[in-house]
Structure 1
């Protein structure tokens, strides 16, 4: 683990969410924990949403709390069962909504920032069964890389 611009960073960032294909992508990249004044800033991970399409490109910094990771697990379970999901809805940070199309082969991913930029973007990406195994592995890696102390 090394220090980088006030953050505690392990060997590299972890893409907690990585939905991509056909020229479109939505990524939530976790980068570490803030450590102002030599102390942890509570149990929160720093991260950034990255959206990239041929039409729109943007990024938005965020924090991810232990409850967010627990709720992401629940959201993955629901999405894997064919349901649409809302993650971090009505919270202090960007919200994520994912709806599967009727065939289940594509996902419509909406990122809504109702608190700072007042922007919403929806991106369509392929969603194959193998994605779920990878998504669960990414979540496990996030827990292992940055275990929380106040669970």
Structure 2
């Protein structure tokens, strides 16, 4: 039975959102390739809307954990930069509780979009919970 999608990343508010939904798991042919998660970025603003399919590897989830730790410590992050999947950048606004979220699809549509969303302290607990839920729902073997 297929699992319901899980929003690994959910940045939203003020009418804008950037969400990464994990929709399933793809089994690769062993022994050379690790299983991957199939995901979909969903961007929704009053100005632009779109979706973008992506694949998430075990190392990407570990990097998201480190990115969350850096964000929680007040640092800007770049997630999956330099990889063949879309790159996600989150820049914190020091003057208020907002961030600039940039999604860069450098390989398929060659499109970059930046969205401003609120980022409250309570967001972090939810983000860690979402990551744990993805690991439990779709376990992946180590790379």
Please tell me whether residue 83 in structure 1 is matched to residue 75 in structure 2: yes
Alignment of 1:31-110 (within 5 A): 31-35=23-27, 42-110=34-102
The 3-state SS of whatever aligns with 2:71 is helix
Q: CA deviation at 1:104?
A: 4.6
TM-score for both structures, normalised by structure 2? 0.93
1:121 aligns with: 113
2:21 aligns with: 29
Cα distance in 2 for partners of 1:130, 1:105 equals 11
Cα distance in 1 for partners of 2:141, 2:82 equals 25
Q: CA deviation at 1:36?
A: 8.2
Cα distance in 1 for partners of 2:26, 2:38 equals 7
Describe the superposition over 1:55-97 as per-residue Cα deviations: whole angstroms up to 9, x where unpaired.
0000000000000000000000000100000000010010000
Alpha-carbon RMSD: 1.6
Asked if 2 retains the 8 angstrom alpha-carbon contact of 1:82 and 1:104, the reply is no
Instruction: Point out 4+ residue stretches in structure 1 off by more than 6 angstroms.
Output: none
Greater RCO (Cα-Cα under 8 Å, separation 6 or more) = 2
Cα distance in 2 for partners of 1:102, 1:126 equals 12
The 3-state SS of whatever aligns with 1:18 is strand
Cα distance in 2 for partners of 1:146, 1:130 equals 25
Asked if 1 retains the 8 angstrom alpha-carbon contact of 2:41 and 2:52, the reply is yes
Structure 1 pair 136–67 and aligned structure 2 pair: CA distance change class (3 A): same
Cα distance in 2 for partners of 1:49, 1:116 equals 13
Structure 2: 5+ residue stretches without partners: none
Asked if 2 retains the 8 angstrom alpha-carbon contact of 1:107 and 1:126, the reply is yes
Q: CA deviation at 1:54?
A: 0.1
Q: CA deviation at 1:35?
A: 5.0
